[in-house]
């Protein structure tokens, strides 16, 4: 049996363990990326490690999240990140240079390499035939320091593409079709690998759209082969020399399979408030729309903006609609401006914003309560827009632009007076690296001082795990709780991403605002959740801030991968109900007795917990590796880093 | 003796009183404008009046301040404003269409007309030979309802311009030269009128720059003649038919005079933290710069961006500088994009933001503490940037762009490798009115429902002025306290501009954060201040929120015009020390006895106050008209509006 691209990538990078599904392996990391909302912790972790200089082939610190600068905190974060990038030998992508994922793909991505990034959409680089995995910031810091990435070996989910997309249907509709079929849990513990004749009609940036939102299926990553489309992309970026061909063996086998006929895909849209609520656009056509936003890493390419520009060119968007355009990078905005698309968008009434994540992470562009906002973004979890009772829908640029013209949700195929535009995209992109600062040479870098404004707090110290604790259940949650609900995105909380004590006041803000106060009163405690707990973004803050407030363990039906790893990294025990029905046997304010905890974790995967509230035993289990158990017993990885800098630095 | 343009404008609009300096007159109002941060109150006031339809020639509601949309409040304000504009027959300028002043000038300004606006920079329209006056929102509401503007007749300050500006020197340096000579009090109670041969070299938009920042001199307004330059401007906007010639008589006399030789003006810059701290750029050259921002109503024209674009074209801005560009209007951005300037700015590393006020009103772009930010804005009052200990400098686009290239404050004349660029500006501007919504016809408008989200609070009810009160002095302040310090701009407070109880929590945030709490404890109270109290913006919130918290009177050495009028409108007594030295005889926490207040105000301009803390009498006076005294006795104008809607609507 021949190897899939995914298996080839794993085989060429494994440095420990046996790559069999479910087994923990260690992978060599070639490249890393961080963005600012997670990166300030990465840099503080590098400082705790005592790193001298990055040991990867390429490491980049992007600034794309905290761009509003409503007060001095954002600017202080940026100054800190720049100084730390220079000190530790990372590239620095200035505020306004663009969203990490498309920028990284354009300037740094190389087929066949591994990439880890402290952003859940890092997987977008799978479009170039990379194995690109979103992780918590600590994993990125360790990778920068030359340590391997530890990972539970995923299964490979092969999706065969046949046919060609019709007019008005684009890559976004393909990934929405995947979400329609498989839901937000459909990719758990898998790498989704696309193959087949349908690939020929998808550009590398189209594949980015599909790979990016693999995160919404819960997949560990998404992988495409590196073929002619990738070569063409790298040529347009002036980097054809970086091209490496990568293809699955003819007889490659997959652990799971599916097939999509691209010609049968129609315009789709995710209803509020989950990327999994996908329906055909025609099913909801006519709903009034007050905002339309184009942009984000889920539709980042020149083509995605150009198609919208061509649709609105010479027309006016609807009076009742705010039509917002977020260029994903400076380079892409430069291309769009050169080809006239920026002009067409402005003339049609667009609000053109600076290049960055913007509304996608709730930094501005919040809609009015209950008013429909159509976005080409990857996520619409409740409140992520910055508005508590929001109504955010996810769709393609074609559907978004059509709806901006009519003022109501519109299938672009139903626009009577518009024929499908022919786009003339530039064969060469602008290639502008001037907002990417190259790190100084090592000897010069050693003189670089870290610039720490008052908002950059020290990393908190955590105690080792207690051996026994009677812990009240402070929260009981349902399925699919996102990290947006645990540690909110948005303009109120994000500026405190470098300040754990302050950020902790927002913990579980999307679930129960009383949690921080109760945690302060009750001390050590647990929370209970349903399936897929911690889906969404990679922010380790969703583990650190509840830990800071006394969280000892989470008992859930199942966990999303990155958050599960973050909990372990910060000393919180992620436990699963051995019998999911036991979820119903625990109520808020019950107290769980965790006894003999240290030995129980070390000695086996199952342990017993007593629900003192009901006086009943409860069987729970963990999926931690021995390495992870050690980390938890020590109180998390930061404690280890801070106290043993020399050992953490590989020779 | 012949009449100045100012006198001609007054004479042609006076409908009551005698226009002698210091006397209150009533002026017919032809046009009004409001922006969103003040406009939500204007619309609530129209509702209180019970207005059916605007009685002006043109009234426009702009949305340019609250554009960040960090949560749902901004979007709810926008929806409310749109519905109210439609209901009352106002034009509505959508979010993203641009800053009110340049947009109004391009689309609505007509020489010879009067304009009042609830924004202190309304005076910018003086560039077209209008008498344009910034006032509180209530004055705008009354003007919309057909009532005249009451005004203390200003003196006319004639400034003769001779010569021509040299290379690298522009209109911004002219108004900075005025501020260098006369300071932030230099224009109090005057209209500054420019005349002379030097005008020939200044375009209408150059004049806008100069007229706009007349507000920083404390002037009631600024007036230019309507000449060939104005005709050319209107022709470029497709409105040559609106041109009316207006010139001062050859022998016009002025109450005050000055002369500027434009050829002798050099690049100037205002140091932190007052527009009056002006020095030559060369005197501070070499200071490191971390941020440069181009835009705002103080440098709004296509030319202002184009010169910066030409300077950075083909170059890269400095690695350590964030180079931010705020287009002032959609139309201007369209022109800049058409002529290639947008491309040059992007390629050089600019962060291009949506069209609007943005950082000028502290909505984003806050710099790091203590790091120098160079801005082409009109104001740099402490904290207005959103950063408490900011270091904001004001300068021309030429000086800003030069400093963005070098990373330090730089006189553009000292850029070794750059010759002064020749600009090819478009002869016709883009003229795009699609984001300007025309009000529906009156019969249709009557069916329009006001859209009031939860953030639109009712106007507060105020009691009539008490006859006697022992009022503690809750604050004693120095000279030149700005409305930014009384009711902060910026991303934290601005979203609550429609919600007085909530906004009141920020009152005097720039002076003493303990004030709201002390006011709640102490009830009726006074504050004491030095000269030019309430300079800066027109926001009536700076009168309403302290009034809401119990402020009865302000005792100051002198007042800035708009705030003085706002205090009277909302029932707070503005008192001046008869002897300015008495300022030293009052301490914080003294108690002032105001006895027999109602009769004392009505019967004369002077009254006696007892400082119970020192047991000494204090002579104070007021400059209120009988009309204003009546308003104060009633508890402010809103009380009157709310209870007597029929009478307030003129027939």
CA distance B531 to chain A (A): 29
Q: What is the pLDDT of residues B406-421, one digit of tens each?
A: 999 999 999 999 999 9
Which bin fits B69, alpha (ψ -120 to 50), beta or left (φ > 0)? left
Residue A275 lies in a domain: yes
Q: Please compute the mean of the pLDDT values over residues A305-313 and round it to a whole number.
A: 98
State whether B398 and B526 are in the same domain.
no
Q: Which residue has the tokens 């080792």?
A: A464
Closest listed residue to residue B557, CA positions, set B535, B528, B588, B591: B528
State the DSSP string of A45-64. HHHHHT--S--SSEEEEE--
- What is the DSSP secondary-structure string of A493-528? TGGGTT-HHHHGGGTTTTT-TTHHHHHHHH-SEEEE
Nearest to B367 among A75, A368, A388 (CB): A75
pLDDT band at B649; cut points 50, 70, 90: very low
Interface of B with A in 279-318 (CB under 8 A): 290-291, 316
In this predicted structure, what is the pLDDT of residue A427? 93
Given this model, what pLDDT does residue A93 score?
98
Residues B479 and B608 in one domain: yes
Contact assignment for A75 to B316 by CB distance below 8 Å = no
**Residue among A621, A597, A623, A594 at smallest CA distance from A609:** A594
pLDDT at B637: 87
ipTM score for this prediction: 0.93
Overall size of chain A counted in residues: 651
**Sequence-ordered alpha helix ranges (H) in A281-412:** 281-284, 302-312, 330-338, 341-347, 397-406
For chain B, say whether A133 makes contact (Cβ under 8 Å).
no
Show residues of chain A in contact with B371, CB under 8 Å.
75, 79
Q: What gap in Å lies between CA A488 and CA A361, rounded to an integer? A: 9
pLDDT band for position A440 (cuts 50, 70, 90)? very high
Residue B271 has pLDDT above 60, yes or no: yes
Look up the domain containing B513 and give its range: 469-635
Q: What is the pLDDT of residues B613-647, one digit of tens each?
A: 899 999 999 999 999 999 999 999 877 665 444 33
| DSSP-H helix ranges across A314-359 | 330-338, 341-347
Residue A84 has pLDDT above 80, yes or no: yes
Q: What pLDDT shows up at residue B434? A: 83
What's the mean per-residue pLDDT of chain A? Answer: 95
pLDDT of residue B232: 98
Averaged over B279-295, what is the pLDDT? 98
Q: Count the domains in chain A.
A: 2
CA–CA gap between residue B306 and residue B334 (Å, rounded) = 12
What is the average per-residue pLDDT within A209-213? 98
Judge whether B407 and B321 are in contact, CB under 8 Å.
yes
**CATH at B488:** 3.20.19.10
Compute the average pLDDT of residues A131-149: 97
Whole-number average pLDDT of chain B? 95
Alpha-carbon distance B636 to B640, whole Å? 7
Query: B401 and B296 in one domain?
Result: yes
Q: Quote the pLDDT of residue B489.
A: 86
Q: Is A442 helix (H, G, I), strand (E, B) or coil?
A: helix
Contacting residues of B for A72, CB less than 8 Å apart: 366-369, 386-388, 390
Distance, in Å, from the CA atom of A222 to the CA atom of A595, rounded to the nearest integer, reads 40
Q: Please give the average per-residue pLDDT across A557-586, as a whole number.
A: 96
* Residue B452, in any domain of the structure: no
Partners of A366 on chain B (C-beta within 8 Å) are 69-72, 74-75
* Measured distance CA(B247)–CA(B251) in Å, rounded: 11
CA-only gyration radius of chain B, Å: 24
DSSP 8-state class, residue A185:
T
Residue A365 and residue A513 in one domain:
no
Tokens standing for residue B42: 């204007």
CATH number at residue A352: 3.30.499.10
- Whether residues B498 and B620 share a domain: the answer is yes
* Residue B438 near chain A (CB below 8 Å): no
Q: Is A371 inside a domain boundary?
A: yes
Tell me how many helices (H) and strands (E) chain B has.
Answer: 23, 27
**Residues of chain B numbered 408-437 and touching chain A (CB < 8 Å):** 430, 432, 434-435, 437
Q: Which of B86, B351, B432, B434 to mutate to test the interface with A (most CBs of A within 10 A)?
A: B351
- Interface residue B71 vs chain A (CB under 8 A): yes
For A95, nearest residue in chain B (alpha carbons): B322
CB contact under 8 A, B352 and A354: yes
User: Residues A381, A485: contact at Cβ < 8 Å?
Assistant: yes
Q: Which tens digits make up the pLDDT trace of A445-475? A: 999 999 998 888 888 888 999 999 999 999 9
Query: How sure is the predictor about A506, in pLDDT bands with cuts at 50, 70 and 90?
Result: very high
The domain boundary, picked from A393, A414, A435, lies at A414
Contact A346 B337 (CB under 8 A): yes
Q: Are residues B506 and B614 in the same domain?
A: yes
> Is residue B124 within 8 Å of B378, Cβ to Cβ?
no
Are residues A514 and A624 located together in one domain of the fold? yes
Mean pLDDT of A577-597: 95
A588 touches chain B (CB under 8 A): no
Q: Give the end-to-end CA distance of chain B in Å, rounded to a whole number.
A: 38
% chain B with pLDDT above 90: 92
Residues A473 and A621 in one domain: yes
Question: Within 10 A of B620 (CB to CB), how many other CB atoms are there?
Answer: 22
Number of cross-chain residue pairs from A and B with Cβ atoms under 8 Å apart: 177
Of A70, A322, A351, the CB nearest to B366: A70
pLDDT tens digit sequence for A373-413: 999 999 999 999 999 899 999 999 999 999 999 999 999 99
Interface touch A350/B96, C-beta < 8 Å: yes
Task: List alpha helices for B330-451, DSSP H.
Answer: 330-338, 341-347, 397-406, 442-445
Least CB–CB distance from A453: residue in B95, B368, B453: B368
Using 50, 70 and 90 to split pLDDT, how confident is the model at A642? low
Query: pLDDT for A108-137, tens place per residue?
Result: 999 999 999 999 999 999 999 999 999 999
Please judge whether A386 and B70 are an interchain contact, meaning their C-beta atoms are less than 8 angstroms apart.
Answer: yes
Q: In chain A, what percentage of residues exceed pLDDT 70? A: 98
Nearest to A169 by CA among A405, A413, A409: A413
- Across B610-615, average pLDDT: 93
> By C-alpha distance, which of A204, A226, A225, A223 is closest to A214?
A223
Q: Other CB atoms closer than 10 Å to residue A297's CB: what's the count? A: 28
Domain check: are A304 and A401 in the same one? yes
A156-204 pLDDT, tens digit per residue, is 999 999 999 999 999 999 999 999 999 999 999 999 999 999 999 999 9
pLDDT at site B644: 45
Counting beta carbons within 10 angstroms of the beta carbon of residue A390, is it exposed (0 to 12), middle (13 to 18) or buried (19 or more)? buried
Which site among A317, A346, A431, A452 would you substitute to test the B interface, given the most B Cβ atoms closer than 10 Å to its Cβ?
A346
Confirm whether A434 is domain-assigned.
Answer: no
Instruction: Say if A384 falls within a structural domain.
Output: yes
Interchain CB contact of B369 with A (< 8 Å):
yes
Q: Return the pLDDT at A433.
A: 87
DSSP type of residue B124: G
Pair (A282, A396) in one structural domain: yes
What is the distance, to the nearest Å, from the Cα of residue A1 to the centroid of all Cα atoms in its chain?
33
Residues on chain A touching B94 (C-beta within 8 angstroms): 319, 322, 349
**A318-348 pLDDT, tens per residue?**
999 999 999 999 999 999 999 999 999 999 9
Give me the residues of B, 370-389, that contact A with CB < 8 A.
371, 386-388
In a domain, A611, yes or no: yes
Residue B607 lies in a domain: yes
DSSP string, B203-242: -HHHHHHHHHGGGGGTBSEEE--B-HHHHHHHHHTT-GGG
B469-517 pLDDT per residue, tens: 999 999 999 999 999 999 998 888 888 888 899 999 999 998 999 999 9
Which among A76, A343, A390 has CB closest to B334?
Answer: A343
Closest Cα in chain B, distance from residue A81 (Å): 12
- B578 in A contact zone (CB under 8 Å): no
| pTM attached to this predicted model | 0.94
Does residue B561 surpass a pLDDT of 60? Answer: yes
Contacts of A290 in chain B (CB under 8 A): 75, 79
Q: How does B343-377 read in b/e, with b if 16+ C-beta sit within 10 Å?
A: bbbbbbbbbbbbbbbbbbbbbbbbbbbebbbbbbb
Q: Is A118 on the interface with B (CB under 8 A)?
A: no
Does the beta-carbon distance from A366 to B96 stay under 8 Å? Answer: no
Same domain, B363 and B487: no
> And the tokens for B31?
């046009």
Residue A21's DSSP bridge partners are none
Whether A44 has its CB under 8 Å from any CB of chain B: the answer is no
Confidence of residue A1 (pLDDT cuts 50, 70, 90): low
Confidence at residue B642, expressed as pLDDT on a 0 to 100 scale? 52
Q: Which of A353, A368, A435 sits opposite B75 (nearest CB)?
A: A368
- Give the residue from A367, A388, A414 where a domain finishes: A414
Question: What pLDDT sits at residue A640?
Answer: 67
Q: Which of these, B511, B321, B524, B287, lies nearest to B391 by C-alpha position? A: B287
Q: Which of residues 484-503 of B touch A (CB under 8 A)?
A: 490-492
| pLDDT of A644 higher than 70 | no
CA atoms within 13 A on the CB side of B240: 8
Element at A323 (helix H, strand E): strand A322-326
**8 A C-beta contact, residue A101 and residue A93:** no
For A338, name the nearest residue in chain B, comparing CA atoms only. B343
Q: What was the pLDDT predicted at A434? A: 83
The answer to whether the CB of A292 falls within 8 A of the CB of A323 is yes
Tell me: do B473 and B387 sit in the same domain: no
Query: Is A120 inside a domain boundary?
Result: no
Phi, psi for residue B453 in degrees, rounded to 5: -70, 175
Query: CB-based burial of residue B450 (10 Å sphere; 0-12 exposed, 13-18 middle, 19+ buried)?
Result: middle
Contact B490 A337 (CB under 8 A): no
* Predicted confidence band of residue B433 (pLDDT cuts 50, 70, 90): confident
Interface check for A15 against chain B (CB to CB < 8 A): the answer is no
Collect all residues of chain B within an 8 Å Cβ-Cβ radius of residue A349. 94, 96, 330, 434-435
User: Would you say A178 and A159 are in contact if contact means Cβ atoms under 8 Å apart?
Assistant: yes
């Amino acid at each position: 049996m021949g190897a899939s691209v995914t298996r080839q990538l794993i085989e060429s990078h494994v440095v420990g363990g046996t790559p069999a599904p479910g087994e923990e392996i260690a992978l060599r990391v070639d490249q890393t990326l961080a963005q600012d909302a997670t990166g300030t912790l990465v840099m503080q972790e590098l400082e705790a490690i005592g790193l001298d200089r990055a040991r990867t082939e390429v490491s980049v610190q992007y600034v794309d999240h905290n761009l509003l600068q409503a007060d001095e905190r954002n600017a202080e974060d940026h100054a800190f990140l720049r100084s730390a990038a220079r000190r530790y030998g990372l590239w620095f992508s200035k505020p306004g240079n663009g969203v990490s994922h498309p920028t990284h793909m354009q300037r740094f991505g190389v087929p066949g390499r591994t990439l880890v990034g402290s952003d859940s959409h890092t997987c977008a680089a799978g479009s170039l035939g990379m194995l690109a995995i979103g992780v918590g910031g600590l994993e990125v810091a360790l990778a920068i320091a030359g340590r391997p990435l530890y990972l539970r070996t995923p299964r490979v989910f092969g999706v065969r593409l046949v046919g060609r997309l019709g007019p008005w249907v684009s890559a976004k509709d393909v990934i929405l079709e995947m979400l329609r079929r498989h839901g937000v849990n459909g990719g758990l513990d898998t790498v989704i690998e696309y193959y087949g004749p349908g690939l020929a009609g998808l550009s590398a940036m189209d594949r980015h759209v599909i790979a990016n939102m693999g995160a919404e299926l819960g997949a560990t990553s998404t992988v495409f082969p590196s073929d002619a489309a990738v070569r063409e992309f790298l040529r347009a970026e002036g980097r054809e020399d970086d091209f490496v061909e990568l293809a699955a063996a003819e007889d490659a086998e997959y652990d799971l399979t599916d097939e999509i006929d691209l010609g049968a895909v129609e315009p789709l849209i995710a209803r509020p408030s989950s990327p999994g609520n996908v329906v055909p656009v025609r099913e909801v056509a006519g709903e009034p729309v007050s905002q339309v936003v184009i942009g984000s890493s889920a539709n980042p390419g020149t083509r995605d903006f150009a198609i919208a520009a061509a649709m609105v060119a010479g027309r006016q968007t609807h009076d009742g609609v705010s039509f917002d355009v977020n260029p994903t990078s400076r380079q892409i905005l430069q291309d769009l401006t050169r080809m006239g698309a920026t002009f067409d968008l402005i003339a049609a009434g667009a609000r053109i914003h600076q290049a960055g994540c913007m509304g996608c992470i709730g930094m501005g562009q919040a809609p009015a309560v209950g008013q429909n906002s159509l976005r080409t973004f990857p996520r619409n979890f409740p409140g992520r827009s910055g508005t508590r009772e929001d109504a955010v829908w996810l769709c393609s640029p074609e559907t978004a632009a059509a709806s901006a013209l009519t003022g109501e949700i519109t299938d672009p195929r139903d626009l009577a007076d518009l024929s499908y535009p022919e786009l003339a995209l530039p064969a060469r992109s602008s290639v502008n690296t001037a907002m990417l600062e190259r790190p100084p040479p090592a000897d010069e870098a050693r003189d670089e001082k870290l610039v720490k404004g008052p908002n950059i707090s020290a990393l908190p110290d955590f105690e080792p795990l207690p051996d026994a604790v009677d812990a009240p259940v402070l929260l009981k949650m349902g399925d699919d709780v996102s990290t947006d609900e645990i540690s909110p995105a948005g303009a109120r909380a994000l500026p405190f991403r470098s300040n754990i004590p302050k950020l902790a006041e927002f913990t579980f803000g999307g679930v129960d605002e009383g949690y921080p106060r109760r945690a302060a009163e009750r001390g050590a405690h647990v929370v209970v959740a349903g399936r897929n707990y911690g889906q969404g973004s990679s922010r380790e803050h969703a583990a650190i801030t509840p830990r800071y407030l006394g969280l000892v363990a989470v008992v859930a039906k199942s966990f999303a991968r990155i958050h599960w790893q973050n909990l372990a990294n910060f000393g919180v025990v992620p436990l699963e109900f051995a019998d999911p029905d036991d979820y119903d046997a625990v109520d808020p304010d019950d107290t769980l007795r965790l006894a003999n905890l240290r030995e129980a974790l070390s000695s086996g995967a199952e342990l017993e917990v007593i629900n003192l509230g009901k006086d009943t035993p409860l069987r729970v289990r963990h999926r931690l590796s021995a390495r992870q158990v050690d980390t938890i017993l020590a109180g998390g990885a930061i404690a280890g880093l801070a106290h043993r800098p020399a050992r953490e630095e590989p020779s």
